[in-house]
Copies of this chain bind each other. A is one copy, B any other.
Amino acid sequence: MVVRYDSEHEEALDQLFRALADRTRRDILRRTMVGEASISTLAADYAMSFAAVQKHVAVLEAAGLVVKSPQGRERVVRAEPERVAEARAALAALEALWHHRLSRLDELFAEDPPSPCKEP
């Protein structure tokens, strides 16, 4: 386990979190979580050009958070919840370090009973 932190995985996390760091993209993600929608349907609700929304969807797709599939003359977008779960797992791993730290502190207390911490 000396691999430190796998560069590919880190790159994937960069993409994941960057994709999540935009409110329009998070909103698209929410909407496509609830149910799939075409790009133009999505675009209709934002105060920006169709092309801009198209780019946001592309960013989400590159991050694996969303998949586009052709359906008639439109492309239908649906969210990929597993990918969101991956991001969440990465955060959980971060928090785990904290808990590990706490348990190290516990160890100190446990291994050091001769410490005179009793009340007088």
Contact = CB atoms under 8 A, between A and B. Distances in A.
Contact of A92 (B20, B29, B88): B88
A30 interface: yes
A88 B91 contact: yes
Interface in A19-49: 20-23, 26-27, 29-30, 33-35
Given A33-B101, A81-B98, 13 more contacts: A5-B23, A14-B23, A17-B17, A17-B21, A18-B18, A18-B21, A26-B94, A34-B98, A85-B95, A87-B91, A88-B88, A88-B91, A88-B95
Contacts of A34: 97-98, 100-101
A20 B23 contact: no
A97 B30 contact: yes
Interface in A63-120: 79, 81, 84-85, 87-88, 91-92, 94-95, 97-98, 100-101
Contact of A84 (B26, B29, B33, B95): B95
